[in-house]
């Protein structure tokens, strides 16, 4: 049985909403993702494991450190 935490980590990224200022449009244009508000100050980026991995690399190239 797969570990639910591992599956969740491979299909979502949670970031402070200000982190995506200036790059959100590029992120949404480049990848198939759903971005939804989460707990007032955060955004949840949801996608397939492949899209999340590539989006993580994109964010890293743009100076965003991931938790």
CB-based burial, 8-43: b 16+ in 10 Å, e otherwise: eeeebbebeeebbeebeeebeeebebebeeeeeeeb
Q: Could you tell me the pTM of the whole model?
A: 0.84
Q: What count of other Cβ atoms lies within 10 Å of the Cβ of residue 48?
A: 13
pLDDT by residue for the chain (67 residues), tens only, comes to 655 565 556 799 999 999 999 999 999 999 999 999 999 999 999 999 999 999 999 999 999 988 7
What is the enclosing helix (H) or strand (E) of 42? strand 42-46
18's tokens:
């200000």
Confidence at residue 50, expressed as pLDDT on a 0 to 100 scale: 94
56's tokens:
């993580």
């Amino acid at each position: 049985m797969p570990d639910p935490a591992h599956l969740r980590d491979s299909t979502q990224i949670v970031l402070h909403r200000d982190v995506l200022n200036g790059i959100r449009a590029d992120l949404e244009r480049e990848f198939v993702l759903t971005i939804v508000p989460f707990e007032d100050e955060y955004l949840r980026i949801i996608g397939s494991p492949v899209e999340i991995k590539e989006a993580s690399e994109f964010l890293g190239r743009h100076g965003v450190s991931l938790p």
